[in-house]
Structure formats: C-alpha cells, structure tokens
C-alpha cells in the first residue's frame, strides 16, 4: 500500500508555490487579462515624480488612482528630490533630512502609495534608491559605496606605482569649448603619450608604508611614474547635506559600488532595515512589480572597484596593474562624461597600441558589473519574490549586450536611444535570446517638449520601440499635483521644464482622450507580451564599449526593404544556455534566428569565432557581408593570428557564405530563407512576429514609419488571419487576402504612423469564403459568427466586382448610395484652461472659461487670433440631417477625420462613439445616427505649452524659475507655439450594407 503515500507526496510537490512571480521567461504564466482589457501588470505605467516624501499622502494616492482610472497599470514610484539635487537644491521650506529616502516619513508615504495601488487593483515599480536609484543613504565609510581610481599623486590607497619608458608626448586639443552641461564643465585638452612596450612595471610592492620608494632607471631614456590611488568617491545620487551629519539622512544618498556585489548588499541592507518593516514588505509582495534602477549616470575618473585586479587576473590570467596607464582614458562614464575623457591617454608602440589591455579592462568591468546586477536581482527575487528591472549598462564603458540577460526585465529608453530602431535591436537581441518576457522602455522624454508633446508623437516613439523589440513602456512621467515649496501652477515640474512630459489631470487630454492612448498601448503590450518573438536574422556585434548614442550599426537597407527582421547579439551572449543551434535555427525556443550575419566592420573574438564555426557546422547559415570581419584585440594581441586563421577556416566551411555589402537579403532569398513577414510597399514598413502556442494565436505587428503608403504583407501561416484593433479592442476576420499554399498575402494601405495587427488563429470563420479582390467602394465591413460578412459600400459611379476565394465574382453596386459630404459650419467652443488668479494655488486644476468661434474651416488654434495662446479643450460641433436627402439611400455613414495630433473623442447626440485610430481616424456612426437632425461633436484637447509659454515669466518650480534653467543649458528663447485643435477636413461617407452570401 505504498501508492497512496507516493501520490500524497507528489500532490505536496504540486502544491509548492510555483514561484511564477520570479519566472522572467516568455513561458511564465502571468495573469494577462484580455486583449480588450489587459491586466494591470501588462498596462503601461507612469514614472511618478514624488517631489520628496514630505508631500501630501492623500494627493499622491489620488494621483495613482487617477492614473489607473484612465488606463495605466500603476506607477514607477520615483522619489525625485529635484533630480537628486543636481538640477537645484532643496527649496526653502523643504527638509530633506526629515523627508529623505527611507526616513519614517518616506516609510509612511511608500506604504500609502502601495495601499493606493492595492485599492485600485494596480501594480507598482519601485526604484531601489532616491532619484535614479543608484544608491541609498549610508555611512560614508561603508566600503560598499562607489570607488574610483585616480592616476597622479593623490590621496587614498595606493594601488600601483607603474613606471614606463616614454617615447613621445604631445598635448591634444579636444576641440571642445569649455562649456558646461548638466554634468559639469568640459575638458579642453589631454596629454597623449606613447609608451615603449615591455617597459611597464608595477613597483607598488616596493613602496614602504610611509610612502617611500627608491627606483633607478637607465640613463638616456625618459621614464615616467604613474601612481594610482583608489578611494571612496562619496558621489551622491541625492546631492544634499544638512551640515549636521547626525543621521545618515543628513548626507543625502550615496552612489554604491556598481562593479561588485558589495554595492548591491548596501542597498539590500538599507531596505531590510529602514523600508521593509512594519507592513511594507507584505504589501510590496502583494502589489509590487519591479525593483528598478535607472540609467547609470554616475561619474568617476576610472570605473573601478578594489576587487577588479582579482577579477581581471582570474578572467584573463595576467596582472592588470602594470597596464593601468593604458586605461585612464574613456573609462569613466562615456555618456555623461564624454567631454571629460581623462587627463592623459597612453598607447604602446605596438601595432595594436595596447588596445588589447584596454579591452580586457572593460571585460573585467563587465564581470564586476554582472556581480552587482546578479546580487540585486537575487535579493529582489528572494526577499520579495518580485523581479528586477534596470537600464542595463549603457553609458558605462562596457559591451551593453553582455549584461542585458542578467536582470529580469531589462529596460532601455527613447531619449538616449533617440528612438532609433537599430539601437533598440542592439538592446533586444540579447534579451530575446535569453528568453526574457519583458523588455521595458522609459518612454517619451524629449528635451524642450515639456507640456508640449502631442500624443501622436508619443505614439510614433512607442511604435518604433515596439518594432525594435520593446514590449513595455514606462511613460516619462506623471507629476505630483499638490502644493510644493516655491512652486507655482501648473505644479511641481520635474527637470524644471526641460523634458516632456508632465502628465496629470492638469493636462486637458487626461480625461479627454489620453486614456485611448493608454489603452492602445496596453493592448499592444498585451500582444507583444504573449508567446515568443521570432526574428529572422541575428547580427553579430562585439564592442568593448557600447556607443551611448546608438548609431545604426547595419546601415544597408536590403534587410528592411525585404521585410527581414533582425537583432544583434554579442559573442558574450554565446555562453547563454539558449545559444544553441537546433533544426538549423539559433535560439530555437526564442527568436529562432534563421541566419547569422557578420559585417566587415565587426570584430571577432577567438571564442566567438569558435562558437560561430560550431553553429555553422550544426546547420546555421552564416553570412559574411562586405569582406572579412576584423579581430577583437585582447591582451597583447597574441590571439590575433589564431582569430585570422579561424576566420579563413570559417569562410571555407559548409553553411558559410560571403557577400558584398547590401546583398545579405539577396543571399537569404537564394538560400530559401524568407522573411516571416515579407513586406512590399512604396513606403517604409516594419514588422514583428510572435508565436503564442499557449493562447493559440500568432501575430504580425506592422508599422508604417513615414508617409502614407500601400503594399502587401505576405506571411507564411496555414492559420486564418484576423485583424486585432488595439484602439477598440475589437477583432474580426480579414476579409480580403489571397492564399498560395502556406502563404497568406494581405493588401494594406497605411497612413503615416499607423499600425496594423494581424493575428493567425486555428479554424476558419463562417462562411469559409473570403474576398481575394475588393472594389474601392467597399469602405469597411462587419462580421458575426451567425451572419458572416456584411460589406459597407459607399457611392460609386459604376457597378464594381468583388472576387471570392472560390473564384466567383460578385457584383457590388454603389450607384444608388448617397454621396460623401464635407462637414462645414463648425462651431468651436473653446474651454480655456488657465492658471488660477493666485498662481501659487497649485491644487486647482485650472481656472476655466469659454469662448465661442464660428469656423468656416478647421485651422490650428495658432491661426485663430483669440486662441493663439490658449490651451484647454475644443468642442467642435456641427449638425447633419439624416438620412441624406435625394433619391439615393444610406444605411449608415463613416465619419472620416484628419489625422489627430494630440487626441480627439467623438460624440453623436451626446453619445460617445468608440475610440479612433489617431493616425487614420475613421468611425462607423451607423448605430448612433437618428432620423432628423444629429449633432456631431468632436472634443479635442490641446497640449499646455501655448498657454504656459504666455505666462512663462511667472512660473517656477521648487524655487527655480522656468526660464532660468533653460538659459543655463543654452536656450535663449522659449520653444515657439505649436499647432493645436482639429485641423483639416471632416467628411461623412454614407454607405449601404451588402450581405456577402
């Protein structure tokens, strides 16, 4: 009778918590909600700027709930402290000792924010420190804080004393004026030295405890001594000092060591001691989403941690210290310190100039930074059963792609990536290969666009990010709406009006159309977080330091023109367990790349080329483009001959091909490798493809980047195509397509910035017939299980024919349908949203009043004298008589609007109609029109800038006037007024319904 016991045991095992919460893979089971109404976790969140922890908890809670009410999934709760005090100090009246990160007031605030999320069914992300989360308040002697290495006669702990024979020196001008940026003054020149190879010696061991050493050098040559000291930087991510130093909060907050696990441990201990007790941990485990760290904007002389020499020794098998003179240049923050690369730059008199040592140093940083990321991730996973997200690596002098797999949800950003799709491809490749379910993006920060970013522009950035592989956005950002010290209406403004966007209910679109943008984004995320992303081609990319400006790496257009999708990986990613070739594809459970491309501008590592040889042997086609790739130098270039030989051997191997630049797509075609979504268009279209076995649907996401264009998409699938509309949440079968065997070809016309989602599902709709050719008079259609397709036919001169998939021709007549008409005689009621008479009254959303304007045509508010400096809501009304008079008839009508810049909602006789696609606005009014007179109202919110600009002189935030900071960063004039309102023509297009038998 053992069986029951065994069953009981297996039952117990089954009942173990699945810990799905820390499963970061595409296969993880997540409550997704539905396409129409995605779950909170899959919805976009706001980066919420809490001014400091002393503000009103109730207002914060209301802000969070308000975000949820219009469609956000929660907030990323960021204690901002004026960008860590870097843009401006604590304003008069604030007390950042009392209200600092982790204080009792912060604890209460944090708990309040979590409670608001719980009550509203939302989830919350939480930075692990104030400002960008790079550290926490700490004892300044804590050795887990940030370290630096300084060359020269300095203070601190001596790390090495290196001598070298100097062959030449010269002063090099950087060609930069000594301007200042947000990050300090620029350096104008540096000293360049050529050192004699083989003469670099570390005398550190010979230095006495009192700092003395006696050295002799041969005469007749010039030697130089380089001393290197390590020290704790005391860099702060909250630049603040009360002058008191009684508690850790009197010193602001310190950046922790980002190159060892110790830095992560400082953060973890702080949370365990000051934030998690008294209910926070439990609530966080319930409604927390991601622990998170922003892009790393920390500065140093040389990126460093004391354990780096050991890490280096074990990774590369030789001593770093003698070569320290070779790593003093461009090994700090290569983004925010790009104008301060270092005071001197040493090279060797060898062919590679010592680049191999420089590369190995950066490789050791990769290992150190990985320990930091892994330790943080482990802590968030184990302590909270939650996941870790971070803006991995970029800005720091490392190969970004190497460490992207080492957090749960890697995050990139639209600002630093300049919305360049190729930049996103560099980020998403390693994440996709590693099977990550979520690739996040800090979305929508644009310089000089505060209160001035139209939603259509935001949507363009979102669509480009999605094409690049992103499937979650955190919108930058949401404002605290209550009072703050030294702050006028419209309220606390993070980054002092330098960056978009400041979302809150003070934005007229908040309750009038922004929700449509959030729901669109949520539904796109829902789809892009389902199943597995498949990518056609992987491009090899190895650099020692990722360019933080993300220029395009693959610059030929052949792949894009043919519709091939591609992402990049580093050879460092070849060590991932998923980096295997099976059935001739690479990463078969993930992107399932069908070929690997290596361009002549890339550099191969020895390990990398061996892996690639193995992949080719296992069946993966490898295409060398534009000639032989170069060599990635390491150590003293001792591997170079072996790498060159391996490249030659690779070229002779089966499955390896060489083509000239721009001919990769042609080669793929001859190899029989087709793009999963082939695109033919007179514009620029991009696509993604995901396969979702769990939910039984694959889908293509197609985006028109540029002008309106037409073409076809051709997709290999035996399943039935359906359209999914992220604007409305509706699905319906595709009416018009042709099928050739396994290939489905769908004609499309896309407006600028328009997207289309085509799903593929099992089973055919009823009736089985669809159209293979549709006349232009068929403007749209409806579908139901019971009655099949119903065509909406507009007026046409002649009868037209529709071809069915069984070859039969059906005659369609639009000759008796009423003609389209342009709607005119608009009355515009402009609701002005202005500052309250007391401009320090921040709580008031706006002082509102109306003006009325008769419009003969729909022009921008900037062209209506009385509205030039006005922001608010436009109520555009006109009336139509229904049905149209005359002997022709109509069953209903489409309303076709011009492209919507910001937002618009349509009402017929006071009844709200479904959301419109802003890029190609068109809505069926059939069920809303009644006999007689019908009032059509389009409600159009404006951005806030035109009004704010007109009162700019009165505006300040946290004691800083709006204009002060703009001029400090070089803007002498304010951004000009921008177009607002409904601009163009609105057309009513009647139709009759024709049932497709």
Query: In whole angstroms, how close is the CB of 242 to ligand NAG at the nearest point?
Result: 7
Q: Which is nearer to ligand NAG, 105 or 588 (CB)?
A: 105
Per the CB < 8 A criterion, the answer to whether 885 and 819 are in contact is: no
Q: Which is nearer to ligand NAG, 95 or 584 (CB)?
A: 95
Query: In whole angstroms, how close is the CB of 96 to ligand NAG at the nearest point?
Result: 8
Q: Which is nearer to ligand NAG, 51 or 759 (CB)?
A: 51
Query: In whole angstroms, how close is the CB of 54 to ligand NAG at the nearest point?
Result: 10
Q: Which is nearer to ligand NAG, 57 or 518 (CB)?
A: 57
In terms of Cα–Cα distance, which of 775, 776, 886 is closest to 821?
886
Could you give the CA distance from residue 439 to residue 417 in angstroms, rounded to a whole number?
A: 14
Residue labelled with tokens 């779950």: 39
The values of phi and psi at residue 296, to 5°, are -85, 105
In terms of Cα–Cα distance, which of 900, 915, 910, 879 is closest to 988?
879
Q: Which is nearer to ligand NAG, 57 or 893 (CB)?
A: 57
Could you give the CA distance from residue 603 to residue 541 in angstroms, rounded to a whole number?
A: 8
Per the CB < 8 A criterion, the answer to whether 425 and 466 are in contact is: no
Q: Measured on CA atoms in the order 232, 238, 242, 244, is the torsion positive or negative? A: negative
Q: Which residues are CB-contacts of 239 (< 8 A; sequence separation ≥ 6)?
A: 84, 85, 86, 89, 252
The values of phi and psi at residue 238, to 5°, are -135, 100
Query: In whole angstroms, how close is the CB of 19 to ligand NAG at the nearest point?
Result: 41
Q: Which is nearer to ligand NAG, 95 or 547 (CB)?
A: 95
Enclosing H/E stretch for 47: strand 45-50
Q: Which residues are CB-contacts of 382 (< 8 A; sequence separation ≥ 6)?
A: none
Q: Which residue is nearest to ligand NAG (CB)?
A: 98
Residue labelled with tokens 């061991």: 205
Q: Which is nearer to ligand NAG, 100 or 765 (CB)?
A: 100
Which residues lie across from 595 on neighbouring strands?
537
Query: In whole angstroms, how close is the CB of 971 to ligand NAG at the nearest point?
Result: 34
Longest dimension (CA), the chain: 109
Which residues lie across from 166 on neighbouring strands?
195
Question: How many C-beta atoms lie closer than 10 Å to residue 40's C-beta?
Answer: 21
Q: Which is nearer to ligand NAG, 86 or 97 (CB)?
A: 97
Q: Which is nearer to ligand NAG, 104 or 121 (CB)?
A: 104
Q: Which is nearer to ligand NAG, 136 or 948 (CB)?
A: 136
Query: In whole angstroms, how close is the CB of 108 to ligand NAG at the nearest point?
Result: 14
Query: In whole angstroms, how close is the CB of 99 to ligand NAG at the nearest point?
Result: 8
b/e for 939-953, b at 16 or more Cβ within 10 A? bbbbbbbbbbbbeee
Give the helix, strand, coil percentages of the chain, each rounded to 5. Answer: 25, 30, 45
Query: In whole angstroms, how close is the CB of 239 to ligand NAG at the nearest point?
Result: 17
Which residues lie across from 720 on neighbouring strands?
761
Query: In whole angstroms, how close is the CB of 723 to ligand NAG at the nearest point?
Result: 59
Query: In whole angstroms, how close is the CB of 97 to ligand NAG at the nearest point?
Result: 4
Q: Which is nearer to ligand NAG, 100 or 626 (CB)?
A: 100
Per the CB < 8 A criterion, the answer to whether 896 and 943 are in contact is: no
Query: In whole angstroms, how close is the CB of 485 to ligand NAG at the nearest point?
Result: 12
Could you give the CA distance from residue 411 to residue 30 in angstroms, rounded to a whole number?
A: 19
DSSP string, 831-852: EEEE--SSTT--SS--EEEEEE
Helices (H), 791-846: none
Query: In whole angstroms, how close is the CB of 278 to ligand NAG at the nearest point?
Result: 19
Pairing mode of beta strands 788-793, 778-784: antiparallel
Chain contacts with ligand NAG (rule: CB under 6 A): 95, 97-98
- Helices 455-467, 421-433: inter-axial angle, 10-degree rounding: 50
Could you give the CA distance from residue 355 to residue 744 in angstroms, rounded to a whole number?
A: 51
Q: Which is nearer to ligand NAG, 105 or 187 (CB)?
A: 105
Could you give the CA distance from residue 831 to residue 873 in angstroms, rounded to a whole number?
A: 5
Query: In whole angstroms, how close is the CB of 81 to ligand NAG at the nearest point?
Result: 14
Q: Which is nearer to ligand NAG, 82 or 426 (CB)?
A: 82
């Amino acid at each position: 009778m053992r069986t029951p016991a065994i069953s009981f045991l297996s039952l117990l095992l089954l009942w173990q918590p699945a810990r799905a919460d820390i499963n970061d893979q595409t296969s993880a089971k997540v409550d997704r909600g539905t396409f129409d109404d995605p779950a909170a976790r899959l919805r976009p969140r706001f980066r919420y700027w809490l001014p400091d922890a002393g503000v009103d908890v109730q207002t914060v809670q209301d802000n969070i709930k308000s975000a949820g009410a219009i469609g956000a999934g929660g907030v990323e709760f960021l204690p901002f402290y004026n960008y860590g005090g870097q843009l401006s100090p604590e304003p008069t009246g604030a007390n950042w000792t009392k209200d600092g990160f982790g204080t009792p007031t912060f604890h209460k605030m944090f708990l309040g924010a979590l409670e608001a999320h719980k009550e509203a069914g939302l989830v919350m992300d939480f930075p692990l420190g104030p400002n960008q989360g790079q550290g926490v308040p700490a004892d300044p002697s804590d050795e887990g804080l940030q370290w630096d290495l300084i060359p020269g006669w300095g203070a601190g702990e001596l790390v090495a004393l290196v001598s070298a024979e100097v062959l030449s020196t010269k002063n090099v001008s950087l060609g930069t004026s000594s301007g200042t940026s947000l990050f300090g003054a620029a350096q104008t020149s540096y000293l360049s030295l050529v050192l004699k190879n083989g003469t670099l010696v570390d005398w550190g061991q010979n230095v006495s405890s009192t700092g003395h050493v006696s050295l002799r050098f041969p005469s007749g040559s010039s030697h130089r001594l380089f001393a290197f000291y390590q020290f704790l930087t005391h860099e702060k991510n909250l630049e603040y000092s009360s002058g008191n130093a009684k508690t850790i909060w009197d010193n602001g907050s310190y950046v922790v060591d980002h190159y060892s696990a110790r830095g992560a441990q400082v953060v973890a201990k702080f949370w365990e001691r000051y934030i998690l007790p008294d209910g926070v941990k439990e609530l966080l485990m319930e409604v927390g989403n991601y622990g998170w760290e922003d892009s790393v904007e920390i500065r140093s002389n040389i990126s460093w941690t004391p354990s780096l020499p050991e890490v280096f020794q074990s990774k590369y098998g030789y001593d770093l210290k003698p070569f320290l003179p070779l790593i003093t240049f461009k090994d700090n923050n290569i983004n925010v310190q790009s104008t301060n690369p270092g005071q001197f730059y040493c090279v060797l008199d060898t062919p590679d100039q010592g680049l191999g040592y420089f590369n190995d140093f950066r490789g050791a940083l990769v290992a150190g930074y990985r320990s930091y990321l892994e330790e943080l991730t482990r802590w968030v996973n184990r302590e909270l059963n939650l996941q870790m997200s971070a803006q991995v690596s970029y800005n720091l002098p490392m190969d970004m792609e190497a460490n992207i797999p080492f957090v749960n949800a890697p995050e990139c950003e639209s600002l630093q990536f300049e919305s360049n799709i190729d930049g996103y491809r560099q980020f998403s490749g390693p994440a996709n290969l590693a099977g990550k379910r979520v690739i996040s993006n800090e979305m929508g920060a644009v310089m000089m666009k505060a209160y001035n970013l139209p939603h259509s522009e935001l949507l363009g950035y979102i669509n480009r990010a999605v094409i690049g592989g992103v499937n979650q956005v955190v919108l930058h950002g949401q404002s605290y709406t209550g009072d703050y010290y030294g702050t006028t209406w419209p309220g606390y403004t993070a980054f002092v009006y330098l960056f978009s966007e400041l979302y809150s209910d003070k934005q007229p679109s908040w309750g009038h159309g922004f929700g449509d943008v959030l729901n669109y984004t949520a539904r796109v995320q829902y789809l892009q977080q389902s199943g597995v992303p498949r990518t056609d081609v992987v491009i090899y990319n190895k650099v020692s330091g990722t360019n933080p400006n993300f220029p395009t790496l693959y610059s030929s257009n052949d792949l894009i023109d043919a519709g091939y999708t591609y992402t990049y990986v580093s050879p460092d990613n070849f060590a991932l367990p998923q980096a295997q070739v099976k059935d001739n594809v690479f990463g078969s459970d993930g992107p399932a790349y069908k070929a690997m491309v290596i361009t002549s501008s890339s550099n191969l590592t020895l390990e990398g080329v061996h892996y690639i040889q193995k992949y080719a042997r296992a069946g993966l086609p490898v295409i060398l483009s534009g000639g032989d790739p170069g060599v990635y130098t390491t150590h003293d270039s001792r591997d170079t001959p072996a790498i060159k030989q391996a490249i030659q051997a690779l070229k002779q191997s089966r499955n390896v091909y060489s083509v000239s630049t721009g001919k990769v797509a042609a080669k793929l075609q001859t190899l029989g490798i087709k793009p999963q979504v082939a695109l033919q268009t007179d514009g620029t279209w991009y696509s993604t493809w995901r396969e979702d076995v769990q939910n039984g649907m694959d889908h293509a996401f197609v985006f028109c980047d540029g002008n309106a264009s037409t073409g076809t998409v051709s997709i290999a699938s035996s399943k039935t195509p359906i359209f999914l509309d992220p604007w409305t949440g509706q699905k319906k079968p595709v009416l018009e397509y042709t099928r050739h065997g396994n290939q489905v070809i769908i004609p499309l016309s896309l407006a600028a910035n328009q997207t289309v989602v085509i799903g593929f599902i099992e089973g055919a709709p009823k009736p089985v017939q669809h159209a293979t050719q549709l006349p232009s008079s068929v403007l749209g259609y409806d579908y139901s299980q019971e009655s099949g397709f119903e065509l909406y036919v507009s007026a046409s001169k002649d009868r037209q024919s529709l071809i069915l998939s069984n070859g039969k021709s059906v005659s369609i007549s639009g000759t008796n349908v009423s003609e389209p008409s342009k709607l005119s005689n608009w009355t515009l009621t402009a609701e002005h949203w202005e500052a309250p008479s007391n401009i320090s009254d921040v709580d008031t959303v706006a002082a509102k009043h109306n003006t009325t304007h008769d419009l003969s045509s729909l022009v921008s508010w900037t062209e209506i004298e009385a509205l030039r400096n006005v922001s608010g809501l436009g109520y555009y009304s006109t009336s139509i008589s229904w049905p149209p008079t005359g002997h022709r008839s109509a069953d209903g009508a489409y309303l076709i609007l011009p492209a919507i810049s910001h937002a618009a909602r349509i009402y017929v006789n006071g009844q709200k109609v479904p959301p419109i696609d802003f890029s190609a606005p068109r809505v069926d009014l059939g069920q809303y029109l009644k006999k007689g007179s019908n009032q059509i109202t389009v409600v159009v919110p404006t951005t806030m800038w035109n009004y704010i600009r007109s009162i700019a002189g009165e505006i300040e935030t946290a004691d800083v006037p709006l204009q002060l900071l703009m001029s400090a960063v070089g803007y002498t004039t304010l951004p000009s007024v921008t177009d607002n309102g409904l601009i163009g023509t609105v057309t009513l297009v009647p139709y009759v319904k024709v049932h497709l038998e």
